[in-house]
Structure 1
Amino acid sequence: MALKRLSQLPRYSWPRTTASATSTARQFHCSTQQCTDGVFRELTSMRVRTPWVEAFRRQQAEQSIPTQPSGKPEVPKDRTLTSRRSEESYHSVILPLAQDPWLLDTYLNSSGHIRLGTLFMDLDALSGIIAYKHTGDDVTTVTASCDRIIINHPLSEICDLELSGKVTYATGRSSLEITMQVAKAPKPGEKPRNEDVLINCAFTMVSLDPGTRKPVAVNPLQVETDEEKRLYALGEHNSKIRKERNQTALIKHTPNDLESDLIHAFWQKSLQYHDPYDSLRKPHNVHHMDTTILRTATIMQPQNRNRHHFMIFGGFLLKQTFELAFTCAAAFAHARPTFVSLDPSTFQNPVPVGSILYLTATVIFTDPPLIPAPDEKVDQESEYTRVQIRVDSKVRDVEHGHSKPTGQFNYTFTVPKSIRVMPRTYQEFMMYLDARRRAEQVRQSMEDDGIVSPKAAENSVTE
């Protein structure tokens, strides 16, 4: 029925005009086409462009289910996988934000700040280009996780930006790590200075057989220079951290002694707040976790599909989850949040075109915490609070049949306010403790990379 309606759409043609007619007719022109609220065009130039209606017709003609694997292997088992150098996968593009006001118009929010969610979408598209440069087009490469996105040096003015990256870790198995950065665009022939780097990030990609959707081996990485060895060692470290995090996850193990003591201390504090014989009451700047929740439901349209046509582009999910997390932090603090980092986050399942995406954002940790550990040094008088937002996503079909989780995203913001979150159910305590562990890792990584002061971050032209 949908195809029938599409085929019945009228086809228009412009009438020809004579020379005399054109001399007296009003002349019209249009500005250069701009992609509003989408991926920077240069990052999609390598894709095979197929209109949605054609992809849809082809899928119907083949009577295939695009969300299900065909089961027929398409990648030869005996293919040769030679090692490749990191520089072979290097790719960079320039975002001319300072030169093109109409392009800049698609990257700004209502307060004149650069929308980081849109930059994250570009970074995910860039990671796909880099991955295929390393693996080739025989495999399907998808985003498995975002290991980190960190603000290094806040921008003080609108300028052209260079997005660049390359494969920095690949052992020859199915996964590879891609390291990217966003920096002030350098002069031709020069490299960005360290103080000009706005964002550093790392994405883990997994290569799959297009037919079976099972992981397949890819080319190992050949490292030669000291810098390549350093980045490769960092990739090994990130891989080790991911495995350790999975092994010690609270879903598998009970909280340790310190964490159990914190749960007990929160329970005691809650009793104290409600004890009629105790004068202590819950302060106005303390909020229960369940009161911070924000939810959205969105139908996934084909305009946000990936290069394989029937799944939603991972960068779009990053943008959606970031903007919901930003809104959640703002609603919680009643102040403008400033982005600090995207902590290790996972893409669990693909999101099909036409499905319903449900997002749930919750404030799960604040630093300084309401109740610190016995040996933890915190500044309870600080005018700034670091707020961690967890966004859980799940997807259902339109008929609301089966649902499945699609990912968990962990964003950290700074707000210019003293405000605290307090869990009160066992599930909330587990979310709080998981966030506390993640905050420790973020704190450590920021000490290694250099801490951006909240005041400097607040004055940035980015969100």
Structure 2
Amino acid sequence: MALSPRNLMRISPVTWTRCFSSSACRGSVDNNNSNDGLLTIKEVRTHLMNMVGVRSQWGQENAWQNPGVMQPVAESQSELPMRKPSDSLVRARIPLSDANAREKYLLHNGGIRFGRLLEDFDTLAGLICYQHNKNPNLGDEQKSPYAFVTVLVDRIEQSSSQLALSSKKDINARGNVTWVGKSSMECSMYMEQEIDGESHQFLSAKYLFAARNPLTQKAGVINPLEPQTPEEKAAFQLGEENKKKRQLEGSKSLLKAPPSKEERLIIHDMFLSTIDQKSGSLKVNIKPENTIWMEDTILKSLIICHPEQRNLYNKMFGGFLMRQAYELAWSNASIYSKKRPGMCKVVDDILFRKPVEIGSLLFLSSQVVYSSGPDLQVHVHAEVLNPQEDTRETTNDFHFTFDTGLADLPRVMPKTYAEAMMYLMGKRHYES
């Protein structure tokens, strides 16, 4: 059973409120469902640091020294209290109505920076994970024994209605845990804005987090989830289906299995279209009309990973990496289409293979790998360079879909077998 975003958010809201003046309420949830004083996304980060309790100045050793009760490390889920989806529901706002806060979200033309929204989504999802794993019997000042790391962003999708967002109106973000395994959980996330007097949802996302014991670096055990309403039960079932789908797609990866018969025919037809039939040779390439060679669509950047962009565990903040990858992909789509596309339609399967250490040289390489009508599929590959050892290690893969609005957009054309596999990978992500 598919679950619509509107049905999912019919859960009774739990609102984070400003209560910094009293240590007794700091980091707590207001269960009175007050609509006053939604936390800004900046205050969400403050609450997240309070709940984790490990952030220190760069160069100082991290220790669990912040005031608060440390939750015990559990060996099994039976030791942990059962949680409801509503227990982890968090609502916050991005205060675009505040001129001082607005500027970092603005594009040159007055639009909204999608990459900044990705950063805020990641921050909010992190807080939701800690909120789910709170022990209601230990009070509000408790600290989690685990680190929750982003494993995968399963999908971030823009509303098909293509709403005209305002850069001067607040954006409300909300989400909660909708599925739980033994050491991983899925967060369903949404953003909405008031348009013509009504609140409209324009962005949805699913994040997969895993619990890690920072002292042993092993998987942690997280609180079990007990759905209450039919909508919550449907969301949990959807999470189970997403898990099976990810496992199936992993087994069909082009790194593990050959293309399907249909895909092989597509690649062969594209290959024949690049051969000069008059030459009688397979080695004479011609570029078909209204196409661009895939090798000519590469755009790269290099990031020096400074402490300023670290997360609570002194690794590079995943939201920052998503923003950098998105902005590179957007730039590539702009160069390819010779116009500036709007916000990304879909972000599909952002895979975090390993954390990026502070001080790393992070190399981002983007490439247009598939095109269909006015749409472009851009893949961004992230890897850490070690200049001393002359090695590269993959850390992330990103997949973005852009709508250029052009009816006569050139098709991207692979030359080599490796590019053909990237074309098929892009096609799969686009059609998923």
Q: TM-score range by the shorter chain?
A: 0.7 to 0.9
Q: Which runs of 4+ in 1 moved over 4 A?
A: 49-53, 273-277
User: Who is 1:134 aligned against?
Assistant: 132
Is residue 426 of structure 2 the alignment partner of residue 438 of structure 1?
A: no
Aligned with 2:209 (options 200, 205, 210): 205
1:94 Cα offset (Å): 1.5
Q: For this pair of structures, how many residues does the alignment match?
A: 364
Is residue 169 of structure 2 the alignment partner of residue 164 of structure 1?
A: no
> Relative to 1, partners in 2 of residues 1:276 and 1:260: Cα closer, same or farther, differing over 3 Å?
closer
User: Who is 1:261 aligned against?
Assistant: 265
Is residue 304 of structure 2 the alignment partner of residue 299 of structure 1?
A: yes
Q: CA RMSD in A?
A: 2.6
Equivalent residue letter for 2:398:
F
Q: Relative contact order: is structure 1 or structure 2 higher (C-alpha 8 Å, sep ≥ 6)? A: 1
User: Who is 1:410 aligned against?
Assistant: 399
User: Who is 2:352 aligned against?
Assistant: 347
Whole-angstrom distance in 1 between the partners of 2:98 and 2:369:
40
Is residue 45 of structure 2 the alignment partner of residue 56 of structure 1?
A: no
Secondary structure at 1:325 match in 2: helix
Whole-angstrom distance in 2 between the partners of 1:210 and 1:274:
64
- Higher mean Cα deviation, 42-51 or 261-270? 42-51
User: Who is 1:42 aligned against?
Assistant: 43
User: Who is 2:295 aligned against?
Assistant: 290
Aligned with 2:114 (options 113, 116, 122): 116
Segments of 5+ residues of structure 2 without an aligned counterpart are 1-39, 64-71, 135-143
Q: Is the 8 A contact 2:41 2:92 kept in 1?
A: no
Whole-angstrom distance in 2 between the partners of 1:104 and 1:57:
33
Whole-angstrom distance in 1 between the partners of 2:42 and 2:276:
58
> What are the within-5 Å matches in structure 2 for residues 155-234 of structure 1?
155-156=163-164, 157-158=166-167, 159-171=169-181, 173-184=182-193, 193=199, 196-234=200-238
> Relative to 1, partners in 2 of residues 1:347 and 1:274: Cα closer, same or farther, differing over 3 Å?
farther
Equivalent residue letter for 2:171:
L
> Relative to 1, partners in 2 of residues 1:403 and 1:86: Cα closer, same or farther, differing over 3 Å?
same
Whole-angstrom distance in 1 between the partners of 2:307 and 2:278:
52
> What are the within-5 Å matches in structure 2 for residues 3-82 of structure 1?
40-48=41-49, 54-58=57-61, 75-77=73-75, 80-82=79-81
1:398 Cα offset (Å): 6.0
Mark the structure with the bigger radius of gyration: 1
1:294 Cα offset (Å): 0.5
- Higher mean Cα deviation, 49-58 or 327-336? 49-58
1:366 Cα offset (Å): 0.3
User: Who is 1:379 aligned against?
Assistant: none
Provide, for residues 359-408 of structure 1, a one-character-per-residue CA deviation record: whole Å limited to 9, x for no partner: 0000000014xxxxxxxxxxxxxxxx110000000113464554321110
Equivalent residue letter for 1:46:
H
Q: Is the 8 A contact 1:145 1:347 kept in 2?
A: yes
% same residue: 30
- Higher mean Cα deviation, 132-141 or 198-207? 132-141
Whole-angstrom distance in 2 between the partners of 1:226 and 1:46:
31
Q: TM-score, normalised by structure 1?
A: 0.74
Provide, for residues 75-102 of structure 1, a one-character-per-residue CA deviation record: whole Å limited to 9, x for no partner: 34267122210011111111221x2112
Provide, for residues 297-318 of structure 1, a one-character-per-residue CA deviation record: whole Å limited to 9, x for no partner: 110011111012x201100001
Equivalent residue letter for 1:438:
H
Q: Is the 8 A contact 2:274 2:288 kept in 1?
A: no
Secondary structure at 1:221 match in 2: coil
> Relative to 1, partners in 2 of residues 1:207 and 1:273: Cα closer, same or farther, differing over 3 Å?
farther
1:53 Cα offset (Å): 7.9
User: Who is 1:12 aligned against?
Assistant: none
Provide, for residues 156-188 of structure 1, a one-character-per-residue CA deviation record: whole Å limited to 9, x for no partner: 2332110100000013x111000010001599x
Aligned with 1:395 (options 370, 377, 384): 384
1:267 Cα offset (Å): 1.3
Equivalent residue letter for 1:360:
S
> Relative to 1, partners in 2 of residues 1:53 and 1:93: Cα closer, same or farther, differing over 3 Å?
closer
Equivalent residue letter for 2:190:
Q
Whole-angstrom distance in 2 between the partners of 1:134 and 1:185:
28
Whole-angstrom distance in 1 between the partners of 2:170 and 2:210:
31
Secondary structure at 2:151 match in 1: strand
Equivalent residue letter for 2:155:
R
Equivalent residue letter for 2:59:
F
